[in-house]
Amino acid sequence: MVDVVQKVDGAPDVAAKWGYEVAERGFTQVPHYLMFLNQFVDEGHRLTPVELLLLIQLVSVWWRKEEQPYPSMATLAVRCGVSERQVQRSVARLEKLNLLKRVKRRTSGIISSNAYDLTPLVEFLVKVSEIYPNAFPRQIARGKLKLPKDSLSPVEGT
């Protein structure tokens, strides 16, 4: 069996780690400060599990900085495993906490699903990162690693 491990910026290729079937569906970057957000805010402002999952779902469909994500409430409800009403309440609270802004959309003059401006979330996470700097930074020295000549050739597996 031959296993080819490709390198991208020094990190193992997603397909090599998770398998092609899983990687083919797509991957999303989620900032650690978002994943650990509740440890940085006071008790009255902590997010519920649904609110946090909703933000992760919105981040997962935000592919280009200049294009706001716009999944429907129904889509978000299915992806989060909750009712549309629960999504509506969660979006309202996230908007109240100033972590996102709803943007009304129209497609060919017809009202479409909301878009979600995540700029407030980005700004908040930047503030969090300034107040709580990374206690465990990755020690990666870029450009200093020298690979053996045959490191990019297929590796024999068992």
Burial tier of 25 (Cβ tally within 10 Å: 0-12, 13-18, 19+): exposed
Query: pTM of whole model > 0.85?
Result: no
Average pLDDT, the chain: 81
Residue 86, both tokens: 């629960």
Overall residue count recorded for the chain in this entry: 158
How does DSSP assign 14-72, residue by residue?
Answer: HHHHH-HHHHHH------HHHHTGGGTS-GGGPPPHHHHHHHHHHHHT--STTS-----
Band of residue 18 on the pLDDT scale cut at 50, 70, 90: confident
Q: What is the pLDDT of residues 58-117, one digit of tens each?
A: 999 888 888 899 999 999 999 999 999 999 999 999 999 999 999 988 777 777 789 999
